[in-house]
Amino acid sequence: MESFESLGLSEITLKVLKEKGYEEPTPIQQKTIPAILKGNKDIIGQAQTGTGKTAAFGLPVLERLPEKSKNVQALILTPTRELAIQVAEELNSLKGKKRLSIVPIYGRQSMELQLRSLKKGIDIVVGTPGRILDHLKRGTLKLDKISYLVLDEADEMLNMGFIDDVREIIESTGNEKRTLLFSATMPFEILQIAKNYMHEYDVLKVNNGQLTVSQTDQIYFEVFEADKFEALCRIIDIEKDFYGLVFCRTKIDVDTVANHLIERGYDADALHGDISQSLREKILAKFKKRQLNILVATDVAARGLDIHNLSHVINYSLPQDPESYVHRIGRTGRAGKGGNAITFITPEEYRKLQFIQRGAKTDIRREKLPKIEDIIRSKKLKIIDHINEIVNLNAQSCYLEMSKELMEHNKPEDLISALLQYSFPDELNEKRYVEIGDAVVDKKGKTRLFVTQGKLDGLTPRKLVNYIKEKSNITAEKIRDVQILDKYSFVTLPFREAEILLTSFKRRKKGSGLFITKAKKGRT
């Protein structure tokens, strides 16, 4: 097995990798890093998701880009906003002290925020095709002087209908660049991209490993986003000896969840890319000694953790893909012991959960969250067990003397009751918990609709919602994700309601005022 030292990386980068806990390169990293560092050809990297592709292209690109450039130096295209955020976070954690600005740009994020960032100057843009095209058409993003174009998850961009957008974006870039294309599969359309738009290139292929899941009990709970934290507390409280990792998608989510846990009195802490190495080591030392029993982390921050015998891995946020899911839950149930993998999904995420199950070739069963009375019952049993353990250890003489004195003036049951209340003043208080709404997943899915008018036509979210209600008697709570752009808009409805609305437009001709159709994949 090669080491990172043998790949030609600088001492500064090797130090960053050591601090992050990276021990040895993955196969795609072994092949790609030297090829980008030492060569000048374009690259096609074929490897499945979750094999370390971000570091494979990110480390050498970060090393080769100069500081203080006045232009965008690299563009990384990703199929989803979740992946754009994840890639940008990982690159920021890998750059060390190098002064490079790395920013994710994606749909449904504030356009004003993105314009301010672009005006200040960005070295590496990580973006989704739709929003990158918006900026190119506005003239707020220039790609003619980039040194690197990275197409990440190219086959997914094809599957999502982005391929024409990708071609248009490539054509807006200059010729003096290296193109790095990464894809799990190589369908005809992806090969045509390589043939038509890439210079002389090397193909670096890594055989796909078999995804495997451990002897782990896998469960999912259907909850609304607002109820996730309450659901997490119930899972922790009903367990006799909880010791687990809680995975969130972003650093902000990690901090929020960890802080709320600490405020509730749990022994928890956070781990993400912004935490210094010295603090990271202190947190991990506490967790390994079980001075902390809950660690909230991002996927990037948890990479390389050498922690065994976890009772639980909780997917507070649904992982991006089957590989990420397998890597997460592989941290529990080790050394022949069973473990528990729990995933929270919102009603809109059922299809994504199905995709993860198929890709990981596993079964994740649905369960109902514990009721408040079940948690209180479990807590009572834990308190009884804890006190019995203390009794068996024999109390110190000073406590025996106090016990005799108290027994002289009180009934045994009253005395024990008072001591329990003194020792556990809030443990059995049902008011600590709030009711959780019944989030029923719509297994028929939802439909994204395209609206032929936008801001320039005077359309607002309220006007669009009222228009849909008027045309189809659909209630407002079923009208979700309204997105009003300059010339057109998008809206999401449950499958059944979408069909009712579309039927009302079938007899009309397009062009006669506001018109609604099904949105094409990839342009939402």
Sorted by where each starts, the structural domains of the chain and their CATH numbers stand as: 4-205 (3.40.50.300), 216-369 (3.40.50.300), 373-432 (no CATH), 446-518 (3.30.70.330)
> Tell me, what's the pLDDT at 74?
98
**In the predicted model, what is the mean pLDDT of the chain?**
86
Report whether 204 contacts 45 (CB < 8 A): yes
Which has more pLDDT, 262 or 210?
Answer: 262
**Under 8 Å between Cβ of 213 and 330:** yes
Mean pLDDT of 90-96: 92
- Tokens 């012991």 map to which residue? 337
| Residue 204 vs residues 180, 216, 443: alpha-carbon distances, Å | 11, 34, 40
What pLDDT was estimated at residue 272? 87
* Predicted local confidence at residue 354, as pLDDT: 84
Residue 180: name the closest of 207, 203, 209 by CA: 203
Tell me what pLDDT residue 329 has: 86
Q: What is the pLDDT of residue 148?
A: 98
* Alpha carbon distance 337, 509 (integer Å): 63
Backbone φ and ψ for 64, nearest 5 degrees, come out as -85, -20
Band (379; pLDDT cuts 50, 70, 90) = confident
pLDDT, tens digit (0-9, with 9 covering 90-100), for 140-197: 999 999 999 999 989 888 877 888 999 999 999 999 999 999 988 888 889 999 999 9
Q: Quick one: which H or E segment has residue 366?
A: strand 365-366
Q: What pLDDT score does 49 carry?
A: 61
Q: What share of the chain is helix, strand, coil (3-state, %, to 5)?
A: 45, 15, 40
How would residue 335 be classed by pLDDT, with cut points 50, 70 and 90?
very low
Rounded average pLDDT over 407-434: 81
Q: What is the spatial distance between Cα 73 and Cα 149, in angstroms, rounded to a whole number?
A: 9
With cut-offs at 50, 70 and 90, classify the pLDDT of residue 119: very high
How many whole angstroms separate alpha carbon 361 and alpha carbon 345?
19
Higher pLDDT, 250 or 169: 169
Confidence of residue 229 (pLDDT cuts 50, 70, 90): very high
* Residue 450 confidence (pLDDT): 87
- Count Cβ atoms below 10 Å from residue 432 Cβ, excluding itself: 15
Q: Mind spelling out the 3-state secondary structure of 498-515?
A: HHHHHHHHCCCCCCCCCC
Position 522 scores a pLDDT of: 47
Please report the pLDDT score of residue 259 as a whole number.
95
Mean per-residue pLDDT for 230-244?
92
